[in-house]
Structures are given as C-alpha cells and as structure tokens.
Structure 1
C-alpha cells in the first residue's frame, strides 16, 4: 500500500515518528508530507538549535530527567554530550514553576517513572528499585550513599541514540561508595554491558549506537586512576573510532585487563592515553582487539602504591610492535615528568613498525638495558644473561639504529628524571653520527626535532650547550618548552 494512501491519522503518526532523525528528509519528499509536518517544524528547528550540544552537570537537579520524562525525544537531538559540564535546560512544561513540596514530589515521580520504564533496566538481574535509590541519592534525595554520579551518569547514557561525541562525567576513579559494593558493581556492569550489546542491534534508536569519539577524563593525579576494564563495554560500540582517556590502569596481577567479548573486535582507529599506567601485558590485551588502529599515543605515569614506578618501556614498545606494528601510522610514547622512578629495560629497536609515519618518543624510554639482555634495572635488578655486560649509559645505541626507516617526522622530548638521574650523555649518544647515517637509515625523514621540557624559564638542563652544539652539527632542530608536572 503506497504511503500516501494511508489514512490521515496514520500519516500524521508517520511524520511524528520520524522526528528528529528523518523528519526533514521526509517532509521535503513531497507536498503532502510537508503539509503534515508543518505543525512540528518550528519546534523541531528550535530543539535542533538548543539540544545539538548538551552539557549536563552530573550532580545537577532533576530538571533534565524530568524534561526527558515529559518529552522523551529531547535527548534524540543531542550529537555532542558532555556529562561534566552544566547548562540550564528550559522547561517545556507550561505549568507554573515553584519549589513547593508538591511540585518536587511531582518531578520526583516523573524521574522514577523514567528510570523504571528504561529498556536497559528491564533485563535479568537488574534491580530497578536499587537504580532509583542510587540515582535519587546522587541527585540529593537519598540516604547518603552517593556514588559520585556513577549511576546517574550511566543512566544518562541509555537516553542518547544519536550522540557522536561523548565526554564521560566521572571525576573520581569510579569506585562505588556504597554499603553493598559487590551488588552495586554488579548492577552498573549489567547496564553497561546491556548498552554495549544493544548498540550492535539494527534498531535505529539504540543508545550510543552512533558514537564515534569517547573522552574519559579523570584528574592526572598519582592517587586517581580507573581500571581500563571499566571502559571495555564502550570499546565494542560499533561506530566508535576515537578514544581519549586519562589515568587508566592495566597492570598484570593488579589492575588486570581482560577482553571478555571473544567474537567482537573494536573499530577504534585512534587511541590517546594520558597519565596512564600500563604494562606490556595490559597494552597487548587491548591492541590484540584493535585491527583498524592507526594512531596510538601513550603517556606513562606511576600510580598509587608505586604501580609501575619502574617501567619496562622496552617490553611495552615491543608488545605494541607485535600487535599493531604493521599498521600503525602515528605513534607517541612519552613519560609524565617525575611520574616514575626509573626504566627496567629500554627501547633499542623499532624496525617492525613498517608503516609508521610520525613518531614522538621521550628520552627516558631509551634509558635502560635491552630486553634481549634479560637485565632488568630498578628494585628487582635482574642481572644480564651470559654474554651481555651490565648496562651503563655508554650502551645507548644511536637513533639511526633504533628508528624505523618509514618515518617522516620524528620528535624526541628530553627531560631529565629527578629520581632516575638520567645522564645527559644519553642524548649525545643517541644523536652520534646522525647526519651521516640519516640518508641510508632514515631515507623518508623530513622533519626531525628535539624539545627540552622544563618547568620554569632558566631551569638548569645538564650539559645543555654541549647537547645543542651536537644537535646543530647533526642537523637537528631544537627548542625549549614550558610544561607542568603532568604533561
């Protein structure tokens, strides 16, 4: 039956159901449908302008959820959602706004109904009463078991089917401050998994089904961190291409990361991790499931109780090589200033990065014995295997023997760790004979520079003038950058 032959009330319903995703295309398809759409055009236009970008304070009052309960289509308009910002929402309810107890109860009942009617809470094992209690508590109406907006933030995620750019709300590490920790953890994990699974269905309005860029921002602080495992359900979202996150951990035997979706890989193309604490095992488990990854930026930092205070940068880079060395085009491996005590083993070869075009590395990643020697510096202080001498800075190989031949742009960041007491001689050795060897070893290199990172102007850099003379003689650009503790 042709669409236009439907009764008028059904045609009106078709137009209404098309709002907002297909509304404009539908009413422009013919004069008849345009006439049916006229009553909705002004409202649709106003909502597009107002709700394209939403910044919601995760600890705000109930006005957002109450308006979503009154008009569930409002969140459908959102393409950019920041659950860490705040902007007032103008109520579409014409009733008089007051702060009476009766009005507050009316709003609370709307919010309760919205929570209990959610299809993401209507699955086996989900306790909707528990979610109501937790969300109302986080909104300031409860018994004090607030979870720092974790449950409220997760519930918000279930409401946005058209968001493409999302910033998550949790400033704290995501710990559940609740008298029943195991129960609370089980509840939010069930809902996050439901979001992940439903996002891969063919339903047009599946939550986060169109998400392309995810930003997860915690403070870059020694005591603040979140296990990467918490974000796993987001990593299998079907359209997700970019992940930017801070203060994540993935450490064997401590903050372990396991990929629990054996038949699903991630579509991530770009991963940027700042002030994160991961070892070779953790990064391997992640990269084993990112077959489309082309850009990886990782900044290492030790976390509370000395997690990875002595970092094995050699094993870490080798793990990246094994998993995605043949596909990465852009790579950065850096270390937050004064965020570690030393390097267990250093980087001595990157030749298996066959497609790499741009590369950024930190001086500390080279400052340690080779992984082939079996030696591990630091607290363990494992001696080298027979045939290898104990490492000293004099064993630092030149860059032309380390870097892959494919790179076009290379930047070395030089800062000198206070605790590790890195010798400036490492810099001189890295660039020894660079100009002569460059045409043969690095034929594609077009831009090459060194950035000295300092906290204040005039900060002493060991052997600075000697290093600069060497760099200039080898044809390497250099400059000094102001930076802070956590870069």
Structure 2
C-alpha cells in the first residue's frame, strides 16, 4: 500500500462497513404489546442512528423519566449519556428515519423530543401510548408530548468530509486507488479543513402523517392535546379520544389521580363536561384524511360528553378544513367483556350497544364514515399489525 493510501485509510477509522448498511426497514417486536413489556429505547440506538434505515417500527419501548420505574432516554453523544461509545461512533448523532411507528410504548415529552430532534428526514410519526409496569406514565401529558414534537429542531448536516471518508473506505476495500478532486467556484463545498455547515429545521413542519392515542384509555390525561396546527404539512391524522380528555396546555393545569391539580389561577379548573376542545379548530388546514378512535368495554369508557368534541364540525368544515376529503370514526367495543363475570358482562354489553348507537348518530351528523366491532382498530394500527405480525409468523 502506497503512503497516500495509508493516509486515506487512517481517515476511515471508525467507519467500517456492516451488513446493517443495507438494512432500510427495522422492526423490534419481541412480544405483543403488554403492560409488563418494557424495552430500554437506548438499546436500539444503533438502529435509531443509522443513516440507512428509513422505517422503524417497535412495541413496548420506554423513554420516560418518572424517577421511579421509567427509563429515561439520552441520545448517543448527549453530554449526560453514559458509555457513549457503546452505541455508535460519536459523530453519528442523527438518523435517516422517515417513518417512525411506536405501538403501546411509554414515552414522556422529554423522551420523544430527544428522539425526533435527531430525525431530519421524519415524515411519518405514529405513536400509541400504553401505561407500563407499576404505573409508569399512568398520568400521561399528551399535550406536552405533542408540543415537544412541535418544538423539536433537527440538525441538518452538510458533511463533505463524512462522504469523502465513505468513498475512500469503499475504494480501499475493493483495492482501488482513489483520487481527490478539489472543486472551486460557485456551489463548491467547504475547502479542505473547513468545518461542515449545518442548519436546523422544525421536524413537525415536514410531518405528513401523524397518529397519536392511548391504548385502552387507562390512567389519566394529565395534559390534553390543545392543538395539532403545529403540523402544517400533515395530510393524514389519526387520534384517540383519550388525548383530549384533560386540561389544555395553555392553562398550566396538570391533572393527577391523587393530588390537587396545579394550574394558572386565571383559568377555571378543567371540567370534562364543559372544557373539551373543538376538533374543527385544532386540526391543520392541510389535513385530507382524519380518523377518530374510541374504545368501549376497555379499562375505562369515554365520558358521555365526548361528542362535544365535534361541535361546529359540519358547519365550519369547509372554512377551516378546505382540504379534508375523508372523515372516519372507528370504534372498538367489548374488548374486555369476555373477561368479566355475569351479570356485569351483560350490563357492559348493554352500555356498549348504547355507545354504538350514540356514535353512529354523531357520525351521521358530521358526515363521517363509521366503522365498529370487537376488533376494530384505527386504520394505521391494522396496517402496522399486518406488516409486523404477518412477517413475524
């Protein structure tokens, strides 16, 4: 090997190739979604940070710091991170993921913010929350979760040095002698020795497909989703009723199951019968397909006042949501009935039938398609299960 190639080889240290470079879709589904299932999100850093992976799907991930049973998430390279070298080389602090689907995972605002702020390519974000072992995130601040995504800025790197290293490495692996061409003039990259240029972007502004919900509506919504207008490019949105059943983030109120809510004194204490937002006001103008999910006979049923979310929808749809083409209400009924003894099971079934009648009327009033059944799930959840579980069988 001549001296020039030896010098080039030194540049490639830490950039050894791997079969993972050809992996563009990654699924981590070791078990079905489960209250007791907990996976440390950091254990998957090698895949979250891969510049090659475009689709990432997983279940049971935990990225929450509750000071008790949660597992906080720190991206590789964070100053707080321990054993940074255990994941990937330190310069790889962003990933190439475009689709992120997290089913029955347990994450707080800080956790999801740290994850998406390193995904400058992200276009699809779908997250369904589940309380984990020992009540981790039993009081979930869905509104703060959404705000964390809206405020996340991803670093966009122009990396001529990294790209040059990759070319050198690949050439040396194949025994080729490479040459370096220096380009000058308009449009040229940084000169040798010059640091890479970088800029940042708001991840939420490029997301075109968004889903957020709560599995089984278990626990409390500590802070509700107050708006989704921070996603101005979103064309497809799916939500669960549970994310709206709590105080608006603007009030400063945080609902808990055991303590008096903290709040801004200028606002009244949240009341589910009077303080639900109007869906027509919180959706972005860009939305073309909107899906709204409910679940009856689970751990807890939606409150009787939930139809108030749809107030003014039919009358103001054309003005507020000019691009909206499809509206769908999906309802799962009786999921927990088979586990309930008589006669309570019969009463639950009666309540579920009443719920179906009520939802059907709401769907007719707002011009929405209505789908229901014991296995009815949001469309994207069905798609997720078909992709993941079918391939796993």
Task: Tell me how far 1:371 sits from its aligned partner.
Answer: 1.0
User: Which residue of the partner structure matches residue 399 of structure 1?
Assistant: 279
Q: Kindly report which structure 2 residues correspond to 1:258-269, keeping only aligned pairs within 5 A, or say none.
A: 258-261=74-77, 263=91, 264-269=93-98
User: Which residue of the partner structure matches residue 460 of structure 1?
Assistant: 351
Contact 1:342/1:420 (<8 A) preserved:
no
Task: Tell me how far 1:397 sits from its aligned partner.
Answer: 1.5
Contact 2:247/2:253 (<8 A) preserved:
yes
User: Which residue of the partner structure matches residue 365 of structure 1?
Assistant: 243
Contact 1:455/1:485 (<8 A) preserved:
no
Is 1:282 the counterpart of 2:111 in the alignment? yes
User: Which residue of the partner structure matches residue 236 of structure 1?
Assistant: 49
Contact 1:337/1:485 (<8 A) preserved:
no
Contact 1:400/1:434 (<8 A) preserved:
yes
Aligned with residue 480 of structure 1, among 359, 363, 372: 372
Cα distance between partner residues in 1 of 2:361 and 2:122 = 38
Task: Tell me how far 1:318 sits from its aligned partner.
Answer: 1.3
Cα-to-partner distance string for 1:36-89 (whole Å, 9 max, x where unaligned):
xxxxxxxxxxxxxxxxxxxxxxxxxxxxxxxxxxxxxxxxxxxxxxxxxxxxxx
Secondary structure of residue in 2 paired with 1:305: helix
Task: Tell me how far 1:328 sits from its aligned partner.
Answer: 0.3
Cα distance between partner residues in 1 of 2:366 and 2:64 = 39
Q: Give the number of the structure whose alpha-carbon radius of gyration is greater.
A: 1
User: Which residue of the partner structure matches residue 345 of structure 1?
Assistant: 223
Contact 2:295/2:301 (<8 A) preserved:
no
User: Which residue of the partner structure matches residue 322 of structure 1?
Assistant: 151
Q: Identify unmatched segments of 5+ residues in structure 1.
A: 1-196
Cα distance between partner residues in 1 of 2:50 and 2:359 = 47
| Stretches of 4+ aligned residues off by more than 4 angstroms | 416-421, 456-459, 484-487
Contact 1:249/1:278 (<8 A) preserved:
yes
Contact 1:431/1:471 (<8 A) preserved:
no
Cα-to-partner distance string for 1:101-153 (whole Å, 9 max, x where unaligned):
xxxxxxxxxxxxxxxxxxxxxxxxxxxxxxxxxxxxxxxxxxxxxxxxxxxxx
With over 3 angstroms needed to count, the CA separation of the structure-2 counterparts of 1:431 and 1:240, relative to structure 1, is: same
Cα distance between partner residues in 2 of 1:344 and 1:417 = 22
Cα distance between partner residues in 2 of 1:484 and 1:307 = 27
User: Which residue of the partner structure matches residue 327 of structure 2?
Assistant: 448
- Higher RCO (Cα < 8 Å, 6 or more apart): 2
User: Which residue of the partner structure matches residue 213 of structure 1?
Assistant: 25
Cα distance between partner residues in 1 of 2:34 and 2:362 = 36
With over 3 angstroms needed to count, the CA separation of the structure-2 counterparts of 1:261 and 1:233, relative to structure 1, is: farther
Task: Tell me how far 1:463 sits from its aligned partner.
Answer: 4.4
Q: Kindly report which structure 2 residues correspond to 1:77-88, keeping only aligned pairs within 5 A, or say none.
A: none
Cα-to-partner distance string for 1:211-267 (whole Å, 9 max, x where unaligned):
111111132111121110110122222311111111000002430110123643100
Task: Tell me how far 1:460 sits from its aligned partner.
Answer: 3.1
Q: Kindly report which structure 2 residues correspond to 1:19-418, keeping only aligned pairs within 5 A, or say none.
A: 200-201=15-16, 203=17, 206-219=18-31, 220-252=33-65, 253=67, 254-261=70-77, 263=91, 264-323=93-152, 324-338=203-217, 340-379=218-257, 380-393=259-272, 394-416=274-296
Task: Tell me how far 1:464 sits from its aligned partner.
Answer: 3.6
Contact 2:216/2:300 (<8 A) preserved:
no
User: Which residue of the partner structure matches residue 50 of structure 1?
Assistant: none
Task: Tell me how far 1:417 sits from its aligned partner.
Answer: 7.4
Task: Tell me how far 1:322 sits from its aligned partner.
Answer: 1.6
Cα distance between partner residues in 1 of 2:350 and 2:42 = 40
Contact 2:287/2:323 (<8 A) preserved:
yes
Q: Identify unmatched segments of 5+ residues in structure 2.
A: 1-12, 79-90, 153-202, 338-348, 382-393
Task: Tell me how far 1:372 sits from its aligned partner.
Answer: 1.1
Task: Tell me how far 1:422 sits from its aligned partner.
Answer: 2.9
Aligned with residue 316 of structure 2, among 437, 456, 474: 437
Segment drifting more, 288-297 vs 251-260:
251-260
Cα distance between partner residues in 2 of 1:420 and 1:375 = 22
Cα distance between partner residues in 2 of 1:436 and 1:386 = 34
Cα distance between partner residues in 1 of 2:48 and 2:358 = 47
